[in-house]
Structure 1
Amino acid sequence: MSTKVIKLPEHQAIYQRIRSLILFGTLVPGQAVTIQGLADLIGAGMTPVREAIRRLTAEGALEAGGNRRVRIPEITREKLEEISFVRLAIEPRLTELAAARMTDACLAELHAHDSRVDDAIRAGDIERYLEFNYRFHFRLYDQAEARILSKIVSSLWLQVGPSLRIVCGRYGTANLPDKHSEALAALREGDAARAADAIADDIRQGLGQVRLTLSA
């Protein structure tokens, strides 16, 4: 049986590419970029890049600067505390909802993503750690089928992603948060509350390291 590959429309593909540059910290907090600069970086036209910038600004991932520039917002302690509060309220709830809808196929995908997270930690591969950590969490949250909550969380990850890349660069991958195995064990056993607690601990560890970086 052949698998049908769905090609994204150009404007959506370009949005996703720029979003990934922000989410995984290729563009760093405080960095200013122009529409032309982004277009040259990803080899895209000005119009779809401009539209992607509008969307990402609305999501809080970019902010307007002077001279036709946009910049990656720098996270403050106050902003981090707000993000922490909301993530710890929503993501454990998404985990509980996902647990109620869990399937063997979803568990297999989560295990595959977590295996790649472990490989990246052992190899000190920051980029792959960030990518597959994101894939693990959002495959789990997608299983919840709670689009409003997932959309809020997606925006928050965009706002903290660049700072997490700085954490990885400073401390390496050896001490990065990874409570995925605990969450997976609980999901296999159908223990939604324990899975939610594991994800909450994972979030606390990650944001705690960002907090330490801000203090430094």
Structure 2
Amino acid sequence: MLYLTLLVGLVLIVMTTKLTQKFNLSGFWLIVGQISASLIIVLFGDLEVSYINQIELGLLAIPFSLLFLVGFSNVMNIEKEQQPLILLLPCISLLCLSIAALLMGYTFASISGLFAVLTIMLCASISGKKTLGRTFTTSIGFVIAVLSLSLLKLSFITIYIPIFTLALPLVIYLFLQNRLTSAQSMIISASVAVLFGLLMFVIPFNIIWDLVVGATVILAISQFSRKYRFI
């Protein structure tokens, strides 16, 4: 059933995004389309997260699931149009999700992730566009959100996969964009995503999280000194 609801959700997102762009509608309708697609996944695909680290969400299960799906659906919409190079990051994230699902014996996420990677590569090679539209990036984000949420139901620590292989590298890419070329920024960001993707299957997630938080705190403190300031 999840395969069908994922397909229906994707079609709904594509339709609402295309119609919004064609008729110059408010961004409100984009969110409405994404929430509707997320509701289909949650209600008919039974994908709401009821527990987080043994804490029962209760009535917050559906709102949390919707917020997660809509939030990650827009994670790649950092700019109106994206460079095709940015597709490296979702491909890395999807591969990591597929490998994790395979190790956990979860067929849906494993097959869907690999199929999504092949689809992204095929669409990118066929279209040959210099920029990516919001429809494509939102669809990719939605697939990653659904797969992440499906794994989140099995193990909460899988939430670190999209954070470390997609969200964090995107932040690094944005930070480096004004200092390096787009290609150089993407190479560094993709390298970070690959590094974290490999580490997550070797080092416990909590240790990686502590390292990232520690490095962030150190970088934030260093900005108070002119000698080490880079922002």
> When the two structures are superposed, what TM-score results if normalisation uses the length of structure 2?
0.33
Higher RCO structure, 1 or 2 (CA under 8 Å, sep 6+): 1
> When the two structures are superposed, what TM-score results if normalisation uses the length of structure 1?
0.34
